[in-house]
Amino acid sequence: MADEEYKNEANKLFQEGKFEKAIDLYDKAIGINPNNAIYYANRAFAHFKLERYGSCIEDAKKSMSIDKTYAKGYYRKGSAEIALGKYKEAMKSFKQVVTLYPQNKEAREKYQMCEKIVKKMAFEEAIEVQEVPVSETINPDDIAVDSSYKGVHLNFPPNIENVKELMKFLKAEQRLHIKYVYQLLLEVKKILSKLDTLVSITVPPDSHFNVCGDVHGQFYDLLNLFELNELPSESNPYLFNGDFVDRGSWSLEVILTLFALKLTYPNHMHLMRGNHETLTMNNIYGFRNEVEAKYNKKVFELFTEVFCYLPLATVINDKVIVVHGGLFGKDGVTLNDIKSVNRVRQPPDEGIFCELLWSDPSPFNGRQPNKRGVGIAFGPDVTHKFLNDNKLELIIRSHEVKEEGYLVEADGRLITVFSAPNYCDQAGNKGAIVKLNSDMKPTFITFAAVPHPNLKPMSYANQFSSFF
């Protein structure tokens, strides 16, 4: 086939949502004709759809270097920079589009929005002072539940029957009274603040332990997960490995349920921080707008504060380590190094904290730049060395969609688990749970997506979402 034929076939696959296959054909087109800016810009868009923002930016740069007047290269670069929260860089990219095509209304809107955000950030930085934590400004006892409220009344701590009542209430798309929302968050903060950045868990003999991956606001799939595998209890403990919120349009219902279960079983319901329990991601991918639409700004600010107390890693039976993203840009990182990370803040753009949330495994040995543009890509040899140096046997991580809901790599020493089936109503993947026995041997439960009310994913994402 000629390069243009490969490109045309790739475009068809792209329209069908088959982005990986489209990339393979764009690769072939580029292999035949490496000097066509369109091929790189198209491949950049496919990488973008797969959330490989780093690869998107690199392809966009290549497109721009071939043809400095090809606006889509700048457009793709700007979109990936927005997705990463790099608004200064995105503003420059969209300015180039506007310069090339002054009549492009959408690009001008994106440029103006980035400019507004950059100015706001600069202003906030200039006047930054040590503010009182929002948790210290709220007293739920001052909030009355009037007789017009016909919803669930939470006890503190709630028992499991109370939580079941809450889940049923939220499933019916009802709103929990704001008094209970505040109280729930404040009580969870008390528990999380007592935990280390790295948590150690012991699973007794003849017992088991469940590890779940990303849920991403897919509340009805979370309810189905509990139907299939039972609710958390002392005999059925869980760890949810971050990314509870964003993208899916019931992120609030997900996190309220998980936090209520944490209060009910504080030693048997474990919650970890993902890259989406961060302010930058929440501002872009919907959680902020969802909370402010359903409650108010102060509730969101309290969530932001509480998320900072979520642990970053868990070691189970001194054999298995669970992290959301992956490993590190250098050898020699120890469990004590992880434990000493100051997690009570927004994550930086590099270093151990960032890599725990953002890194991804690679099939190739060594380390490479991550396709996401954040964290690193680490090979099987890096996995083996980290585990051997720290006298561990297995890494469980999440952070990536997998067709079967999970994937085993690195000679069985690394597992990715993802628990949001048919991610964003379009990926077609299964969800999964990892079940560990007391010897830490894994088995897997997979499940399909279930119907949900007629509200699309990303419904609460900011105005950039239409561009994505």
Q: Which residues are catalytic?
A: 276
* Residue 419, Ramachandran bin (φ over 0: left; ψ between -120 and 50: alpha; else beta): alpha
**156 vs 5, 144, 262, 378, CA distance in Å?**
64, 16, 11, 43
SS3 460: coil
Spatial contact of 36 and 43, defined as CB atoms under 8 Å apart? no
CA distances from 231 to 125, 260, 311, 414 (A): 44, 12, 22, 26
Select from 397, 282, 389, 366 the least CA-distant residue to 406: 397
Please work out, in degrees rounded to the nearest 5, the angle formed at the alpha carbon of residue 194 by the alpha carbons of 137 and 325. 100
What is the rounded distance in angstroms from the CA atom of residue 325 to the CA atom of residue 145?
Answer: 41
- Separation between Cα atoms, residue 374 and residue 353, nearest integer Å: 12
Within 8 A by CB and 6+ apart from 419, the residues are: 212, 213, 214, 215, 221, 222, 225, 240, 398, 405, 431, 432, 433
Alpha-carbon gap, residue 376 to 378, rounded angstroms: 6
Phi, psi of 133 (to 5 degrees): -55, 140
Distance of alpha carbon 27 from alpha carbon 10, whole angstroms: 9
CA-to-CA dists, residue 409 to 28, 209, 272, angstroms: 27, 21, 22
Count other Cβ atoms within 10 Å, centred on residue 138: 18
Contact yes or no for 12/24 (Cβ under 8 A): no
Q: Which of left, alpha, beta for 351 (phi over 0: left; psi -120 to 50: alpha)?
A: left
321 phi/psi in degrees, rounded to 5: -110, 135
Alpha helices by DSSP H, 265-326 = 279-285, 287-294, 297-307
> Nearest-CA neighbor of 284 among 86, 66, 42?
86
Bond preceding residue 157 cis, omega within 30 of 0: yes
Q: Nearest-5° angle of CA 400, CA 262, CA 172?
A: 80
